[in-house]
Amino acid sequence: MECRITFSKERSRPNSGSTLPEAIIAIGVTAMLVVALCSFTVFTGHNFAALFNYVDLDDVNRVAMDQITRDVRQANMVSSYATNRLTLQDSDGLPIIYSYNATNKTLLRTSTFNGVTSTKTILTECDKLKFEMAQRNTKYGGYDVVPISNPALCKVVNVSWLCSRKLLGIKENTESVQTARIVIRKQGT
């Protein structure tokens, strides 16, 4: 068997460009990748903003709950009560007032210290808030405390609220209902 290498005098020209269908397919694939990358970027950006919003809302709720819990536990008694307003008597006999304004969606704390009365916003963007009074003894067959309407008999304060925020104009990040059952420690049995 004999092998020979032969040369041709004519050279073949390489394709100098791509065809129109190849270019259309390349543009289509590139466009799909750009759209996928942009939508992924928008999705992750929205989720990071929502996560930050949720963490901030949770932090504000925790601080507010800590303040209310501290005040109720150290109070001498409940002076007056409504479902949206709670007046406590502190150890100096001065009032601490928590008042919820449904129109402004805020919870305000008003207190007096050294003769100076100050009002501080504890919660903003609060959709619902409710105070309840009760005694320490539980209902038969359960763990619920006996509700009362006379502030002088109040030993337990129940508080619950729901806060939410808007993200890009849409109500999101609704915090689950914050609830607490707080026992007044200083009041007699």
The per-residue pLDDT for range 104-121, each reduced to its tens digit, is 999 999 998 888 899 999
pLDDT over 70 at 166, yes or no = yes
Boundaries of every domain in the chain:
34-183
pLDDT over 80 at 12, yes or no = no
Do 71 and 86 form a contact (C-beta atoms < 8 A)? no
Give the span between the Cα atoms of 125 and 86, in whole angstroms: 19
Lookup result for tokens 């065809």 = 19
Give the span between the Cα atoms of 37 and 62, in whole angstroms: 37
Do 81 and 131 form a contact (C-beta atoms < 8 A)? yes
Tens-place pLDDT, residues 132-161: 998 877 777 777 888 888 888 889 999 999
Give first-to-last CA distance, the chain, whole Å. 116
Share of the chain above pLDDT 70, in %: 88
DSSP letter for 23, please. Answer: H
Segment 43-52 mean pLDDT: 86
Kindly report the backbone phi and psi dihedral angles of residue 179, in degrees, each rounded to the nearest multiple of 5, phi listed first. Answer: -135, 150
pLDDT over 90 at 13, yes or no = no
